[in-house]
Structure formats: structure tokens, C-alpha cells
Amino acid sequence: MAKQPSKAASAAKKPASPTNAAAAPSDDPDFVLGSLQQAFEANKRYAADEAEMLEFYRQMLLIRRFEEKAGQLYGLGLIGGFCHLYIGQEAVAIGLQSALDNDRDSVITGYRDHGHMLAYGIDPKVIMAELTGREAGISKGKGGSMHMFSTEHKFYGGHGIVGAQVALGGGLALAHQYNEDGGICLAYFGDGAANQGQVYETFNMAALWNLPIVFVVEDNQYAMGTSTKRSSAETRFYRRGTSFRIPGMEVNGMDVLEVRAAAEVAFAHVRAGKGPVLMECNTYRYRGHSMSDPAKYRTREEVQDQRDHHDPIERLKKTLIESGKGEDELKSIDKAIRAEVAQAADFAETSPEPGAGELYTDVLVGEY
Ligand SMILES: Cc1ncc(C[n+]2csc(CCOP(=O)(O)OP(=O)(O)O)c2C)c(N)n1
Ligand SMILES: [Mg+2]
């Protein structure tokens, strides 16, 4: 039988689920790509109180100083393997993760993952010790920069295979739905990963099964040395869920209050059982793709322009000062963070390496 025009079937508006896969979600005539965007646009900057703003400021600054220090330790040869810094993108992780319910929600990301871990308030010492491959590291020094994990926090990595975390995130969301634990999954990926096939397989299943997941494209404008303009036919990534009937949101990822406002709208939608959301956060990485990137594909001026005119920490600082905070108080926050990061680096340099026996642990899961 030929496919019916969708309007004729408007009565069949049942959400699909793994156990109810026969209902056709495309029979819902009400899909509007920008439905959530409208709600978000109406209230685009989260009305944070002073304490919240200071906390966002402190958390973003912690990521910035931590990453600067990680860059130094890498230069000194204390961090092996790859190391991808998050400098410039801080507002994305903080704006989104500050809105999560850490008792039930899960997070998964790619290899640019230090900031997402710091956003939990995890002690910077154990994250830095992971970078230097020490026993005290959050993955006992065996994960390193790209493969950090904390099941305790429901943080599921840290993944080096571009785009793989999106499909795994779909699995996490399915587990939330199956276990009826009320949690949602936040799955981050890059503009480059957005061109991976498995991303769209996941979109399809997530929409079909109404999974509780927020897909976040951190569009930092480059995938290694390739700009989005050179690699992507559609650079407005929020539109890429359209054919799966996933509403899209377009967010300034350089403004933590804007990201947080978008998070409120997206999370409420997903938590209400209305299925996935695709959020594009427009951002910029100041450093190279990884520590070994000479960054010849862009000009110094381009980077400087972002630093001078779009920096997320400076933007929030301006808002704080306009609301009456003194520069001195903000400086003292920076001083305290620098001291905390210096201590984390000392710890990471001086704590012991894992014993040889660790080679045989965490390799296979036990019986279950
Ligand atoms: C499946 C796969 N293909 C290629 C690579 C090599 N690779 C590592 S990072 C990267 C670029 C990804 O860029 P993007 O998704 O924009 O994330 P960003 O690094 O900008 O955060 C590539 C191609 C890989 N790790 N995995
Ligand atoms: Mg990118």
C-alpha cells in the first residue's frame, strides 16, 4: 500500500518506543524544526542570580587555567599521547552541565573531555593525575587525556573514535528509558563528527524510540585542519535532525547564560518524554586541534578576533561587573584558581605511577 499523506493520519499520534515500534512517528503532522528555538528565543539569557553567575565564572576559569597548565605539562613531556585542549569552549560544558541532575543524568563526549569532567566539580588533582598517567588519576592513569571515565558521576567518557560517542549515547538514553530512572543523556560531538554516518543512524533510532537524549554539536568551526565550510554541505547543524523529526536549537556557545537558557528548554522537553533534541552550540577553540597541531590552516588574526570579541569568560565578567561586582573580587577568584591548578599539577607530577599489576585489571568486565 502506498504511504498515506501524513495529514490524513493525524489521529495516530502515539509516541513510538522499542515495544511500540509499529506506531509511525511521521504520522504526527505537528513537527516544527524550530519549535524549541521559539521558546528559547523568548528568554535567551538565563536569569542567573549573583551566586550562580560567580559559580559559572569560577568553573569556566578553572577549565581555562587547568587547560593552560595541561598545555605546559605537555610541553615539558609530562603528558604522553594526545592532548586536546578545550580553551575557548568553556561556556558550552558549564552552561549545559550546570542544568543537569547529576543523580540521574548521564554525559558522554569525545576526546576533548577535560572540561566536561571539571564541570562536575571533580577534584582537578585526579584529572591532572590522569593526564600524567598516575595511579591517583580518575582512571588509574590508564585512560589518559582522551579516555577519562567516571561511572560514579555517570560520565561515560572520553572517546577517541570520532562520532562513536553519539551511538553510545543513544545506548545510554535507551538504558534511562528502559530502567525508567528519569535520567537523560547529554551526548556531545564535534562539527566534524556530525558528518559521520552512525550519527544519523542514532538520530533515527532516538527519534523513533523517543529516547531521552540531547545531542549537542560543539561547532568550533574546525575538524582538525578542515573548516566546516570546506567539509559540510549544511553548516547549520541544528537542521540536521530535520528528516528525523528532531527539533533543532541554535545557540551562541560563547555565552554561558545563553547556553544555560537553551539547556533549560531542551532538558524540559526531553524530560517530559517528548524525545530527542539537537542543539548546535557555536563556539571556537583557541588552541590547535591537539598539542601537536601547528594550526597553519587559519590566521592569527582570526583567533585573536575571537579572543578579543567573543571570549566566554570575558563576556560573563562584563555581565558581573555591570551588575556591581568589583574587578578585585574577580581577580581574587582567578588567583585562588591558579593556586588550585598549581597544586593539581604538583600532585600530578609527584604522585606514583600505577603498578605493573594494573596492566591486568579493568581489561575485561567480570561475570554478570
Ligand atoms: C572514526 C575516526 N575518523 C577519524 C579520526 C581522526 N580524527 C580525530 S579528531 C578528528 C576531527 C574531529 O573534529 P570535530 O568532530 O569537529 O571535533 P573537535 O576536534 O573540533 O572537537 C579526526 C578526523 C578519528 N579519531 N576517528
Ligand atoms: Mg570541530
Residue 262 included in any domain: yes
- How many A from CA of 161 to the centre of ligand 2? 14
- Across 29-43, 96-110, 155-169, 278-292, least confident range: 29-43
Residue scoring higher pLDDT (249 or 25)? 249
| Mean pLDDT confidence for 99-108 | 98
% of the chain beyond a pLDDT of 90:
88
Residue 152 included in any domain: yes
The range of the structural domain enclosing residue 248 comes to: 56-292+315-350
Between the alpha carbon of residue 275 and those of residues 97, 122, 184, 225, 280, the distances in Å are 19, 30, 10, 34, 17
Residue 270 included in any domain: yes
Which atom of ligand 1 is nearest to 89's Cα? 21
Closest CA to 278 of 262, 261, 256: 262
Which atom of ligand 1 is nearest to 223's Cα? 13
For CA atoms 78, 82, 86, 87, the dihedral sign is positive
At 11 the pLDDT is 38
Ligand 1 binding pocket includes 166 (Cβ within 6 Å): no
Q: Is the pLDDT of residue 8 over 50?
A: no
Closest CA to 63 of 20, 93, 36: 93
Residue 219 included in any domain: yes
Ligand 1 binding pocket includes 270 (Cβ within 6 Å): no
Which atom of ligand 1 is nearest to 218's Cα? 21
Set of cell numbers at residue 170: 543513544
Residue 125 included in any domain: yes
- How many A from CA of 106 to the centre of ligand 2? 22
At 114 the pLDDT is 98
For CA atoms 66, 71, 72, 78, the dihedral sign is positive
Ligand 1 binding pocket includes 95 (Cβ within 6 Å): no
d(C-alpha 77, C-alpha 346), whole Å: 14
d(C-alpha 27, C-alpha 137), whole Å: 50
Set of cell numbers at residue 16: 513510538
List the residue whose alpha carbon is closest to atom 7 of ligand 1.
Answer: 162
| Mean pLDDT confidence for 180-191 | 98
At 364 the pLDDT is 82
- Look up the CATH number of the domain holding residue 284: 3.40.50.970
Residue 344 included in any domain: yes
Residue scoring higher pLDDT (366 or 34)? 34
How many domains is the chain built from?
Answer: 1
At 29 the pLDDT is 72
- How many A from CA of 160 to the centre of ligand 1? 8
Residue 301 included in any domain: no
Q: Is the pLDDT of residue 13 over 50?
A: no
Ligand 1 binding pocket includes 223 (Cβ within 6 Å): yes
Q: Is the pLDDT of residue 195 over 90?
A: yes
Residue 213's DSSP bridge partners are 185
At 30 the pLDDT is 74
Which atom of ligand 1 is nearest to 189's Cα? 15
Residue 142 included in any domain: yes
